[in-house]
Amino acid sequence: MAISDADMIEAWKKVLTLSQLKRGEVVTVLTGPSTHPQTLSTAMVAASGMGAIVNRLDLPAMNGEASLSRDALAFVGDTPLTGNPAGMAALKASDLVLDLMLLLFSPEQGEILESGTRMLLAVEPPEVLARLVPTMEDKLRVKAAAEKLKAAKEMHVTSAAGTDLRCALGDYPLLEEYGFVDAPGRWDHWPSGFLATWPNEGKSNGTIVIDRGDILLPQKSYASEKITLTVRDGYAVKIEGGLDAELLLDYIESFKDPEAYAISHIGWGLQDRARWSVLSLYDREQTIGMDARAFAGNFLFSLGPNTEAGGTRNTPCHIDIPLRRCTVRLDGEHVTMDGKVLDQFSLAAE
């Protein structure tokens, strides 16, 4: 069902209020050829109505000749801001950037955030944004889980399907996504609701089994059979299975980059309003799959870059894979069990 402009404006006002937008602040809306027109128009109306000084920076498409997909996360790294000092100056001079283009995994994003600019990514369809408007409860839940993850030295993930992965932790920061930006230099993604970090380099070992019904992104497909990844010293050294495994392996091989096999961020979903099944209701080019990344109780792991955490692995290949029915332990303490978030991180416990 489509969303009215009035409802989207109200949704934006809620998110901008949570992001502490103040009258007189400078808001720059960053757009590209794939920006949804309703998301853009309602963002500008909402921000202007709250007294902000609103600009739009529209940038051209790029990487299309190198990417195998139109998905914005299918080829990351270089952006239209690479070597664009005028564009960078405008964004760094802004109090708040609304990224409706997708600048993620780029050095430019880090530089903008270091200037103190707040940045909110919002590229999902308007009806997804409106359904998953963030709340203060989302932040409290993510923050409570973050206290556990911040203190942990090891994440151990298991499943009945055969996953048994151990990752040493502590060298990289946390990625706390709750859907709004309420501090200088903060980045977040609307919609979201999950927690992640990056394992210490070379310190992930074990087996990951992508089971039937687990999701591959940016392929935006449900696995129809098991795929087994053997992880050794931080890299997936074997990818085995049937057709799904062959498709995944061929996609990774197309980048001709050994860093594409590296374990990137790891964490779990905390958003009760996100649904595992939503991806089946959209055409592939309509969504980047945030329901899949955030649904409560998933174990989300990634292959590819770690520049978002301050690392140097700047490979253009980025693959997110949310798994169901996993158990996640931090230093032996359960935070999820068989794909269910434990009570201390649930809405009911707040």
Q: Contact 227/328 with Cβ under 8 angstroms?
A: no
**Average pLDDT for the chain:** 94
> Final residue of a domain: which of 116, 131, 146?
131
Do 145 and 99 fall within a single domain?
A: no
At residue 105, the 3 state secondary structure works out as coil
Do 125 and 235 fall within a single domain?
A: no
pLDDT digits (tens, 9 = 90+) for 94-145: 999 999 999 988 889 999 999 999 999 999 999 999 999 999 999 999 999 9
Do 113 and 150 fall within a single domain?
A: no
CATH number of the domain that residue 48 is part of: 3.40.50.2300
Q: What is the mean pLDDT of residues 1-11?
A: 95
Which residues share a beta bridge with 209?
Answer: 228
- Structural domains counted in the chain: 2
Do 144 and 127 fall within a single domain?
A: no
> Final residue of a domain: which of 83, 106, 131?
131
Q: Contact 120/96 with Cβ under 8 angstroms?
A: yes
Do 313 and 191 fall within a single domain?
A: yes
pLDDT confidence tier of residue 255, bands split at 50, 70 and 90: very high
Q: What is the mean pLDDT of residues 6-29?
A: 98
Do 162 and 66 fall within a single domain?
A: no
Q: Contact 152/197 with Cβ under 8 angstroms?
A: no
Do 256 and 194 fall within a single domain?
A: yes
CA nearest 180: which of 220, 143, 218?
143
pLDDT confidence tier of residue 346, bands split at 50, 70 and 90: low
Do 32 and 178 fall within a single domain?
A: no
Do 153 and 169 fall within a single domain?
A: yes
Do 142 and 116 fall within a single domain?
A: no
Do 24 and 101 fall within a single domain?
A: yes
Kindly provide the b/e burial profile for residues 188-207, where b requires at least 16 CB atoms within 10 angstroms of the residue's own CB: bbbbbbbbbbbbbbebbbbb
- Euclidean distance between CA atoms 273 and 192, whole angstroms: 10
> Final residue of a domain: which of 81, 96, 131?
131
Structure tokens that stand for 107 in this block: 């050095």
Q: Contact 52/27 with Cβ under 8 angstroms?
A: yes
Residue 193 belongs to what domain range?
A: 136-349
Do 85 and 193 fall within a single domain?
A: no
CA nearest 78: which of 97, 100, 99, 103?
103
According to DSSP, residue 309 is labeled G
pLDDT confidence tier of residue 350, bands split at 50, 70 and 90: very low
- Euclidean distance between CA atoms 293 and 301, whole angstroms: 9
Kindly report the backbone phi and psi dihedral angles of residue 85, in degrees, each rounded to the nearest multiple of 5, phi listed first. -65, -30
Q: What is the mean pLDDT of residues 262-267?
A: 97
